[in-house]
Amino acid sequence: MKKIALAGTALMSVIHLTTAAQAAEPIKLEVGGFMNQWFAVVFQENDVAGRNNRTYTHPVNGQTTSSPAEHGHFASLTDAEIHFKGETTLDSGLKIAVVFEMEAERMSAGGSSTGQGNNSTSRNADQQYLVLTSGFGELSMGERDNVQLRAHNAAPRFGAGLDIIRQVIVPRGTAANGMHVAAPSPSGAYDSTALDAMDGTGAVKIDYLTPQFWGLTLGLGYTPTNGSRGLANKETQQRDMMSAVLAYQRAVGEDFKVGLDVGYGHLLYNHNPTLGANVSGQAHGISSGGKISWNGLSIGGSHLRIIDNYRNDATPQTGGTIGGWAWDAGASYESGPWGVSFTYYKESQKADPTVKGNDTVTQWALGGKYDVGPGVSFVASAHRAVYKDEINIDATNTSGWAFISGVNLTF
């Protein structure tokens, strides 16, 4: 009788949810997004072909590469997205929301007819995901930022971000020719102190956030493969990324706010039996951050440490690594429509285990903004960036200054 009663209860629950779903309004999408347009004046250490043609010989594989690079002084930059969002609430109280964030600019420059550049047919969805919210918390599925990133606190900043600076103060070389500052690892440069430096934002994942208790929230996430979707290729892809974050948010009145977070991530990658050796790798990441705001003044900072124990029994020093660290610190002040900020960022990544030393990135930024109306801001910032390769020679190091101004729109 007890089993029959339980079965009947479960059946009635399903019928109730189905009826509730039919009774709810269908999801209607709303349009939003942002557009950032900037103009940059850049002064970067240049190489003039024939006068100072930098020649680099990899200290292990002996590959020689010449890298003349005389950069211009002016750049136009854009970052724009169209967002489609909608939600509905069932009679049972379950809220269902969908989000599509589409890149509005071309995926790449140029005019190739092979599916890139002006004729690009590349998929340009930045994020797309489903969110289920109830009294038990929030469950998210799809291509979305890592759960730790969404709860992360870092140094405040006005103006262009780290990824934009890399486009105008250009690192030298590529991972292919041994100069790893430009792309020092399978995940590229961190440009972040959050765990998305490990799993990326384009991979399909599932995560869960608990309701907030006394300001505390716990988040858990799982990413099957960094190859975006489907089954992971154990020979080539980072996979089985598990992450967790504990975050604290508290506001005392309207003037004082504090945010703290600590997160952990773990992933596996590169098990290739065709190499005739036990090749394996796993990485652990720990991220933390904090920010305090009071009467318009905000002070914050964060830290990321990734420990990568790549191992190859046949050639222990062969292969790439994402091991390293990054941190930032900064402060901002807002008064009415005005705001100013100063931010310092430092990154160090092993990149090539065959070479002693780390690739390093050092950046600082002085930024400002003025809100001229709802969703419209004028921004300006000054930046200094220094890139050093692991062997720290003039042929692979570079630095520069950038002055960027523009308009940021949200809608």
Report the chain's mean pLDDT, rounded to a whole number.
77
Q: Among 45-49, 92-96, 183-187, 314-318, which is the least confidently predicted range?
A: 183-187
pLDDT for residue 200: 58
Show the tokens assigned to 147.
């759960």
The model's pTM is 0.80
Name the residue type at position 262.
V
Domain map (residue ranges) of the chain:
29-410
Q: Is the pLDDT of residue 353 over 80?
A: no
Positive or negative, the CA dihedral 358, 59, 182, 151 is negative
pLDDT for residue 55: 54
End-to-end CA, the chain: 58
Q: How far apart are CA 268 and CA 225, in angstroms?
A: 9
Instruction: State the CB neighbour count (10 A cutoff) for residue 242.
Output: 14
Nearest CA among 193, 82, 216 for reference residue 146: 193
pLDDT digits (tens, 9 = 90+) for 125-150: 788 999 999 999 999 999 888 888 89
Secondary structure (3-state) at 102 = strand
Q: How far apart are CA 261 and CA 152, in angstroms?
A: 6
Q: Is the pLDDT of residue 1 over 90?
A: no
CATH topology of domain 29-410: Porin (2.40.160)
What does DSSP assign to residue 296? T
Q: Among 155-169, 214-228, 269-283, which is the least confidently predicted range?
A: 269-283
Of the chain, the percentage scoring pLDDT greater than 90 comes to 39
Buried b (16+ CB within 10 A) or exposed e, 122-143: eeeebbbbebebeeebbebebb
pLDDT for residue 107: 54
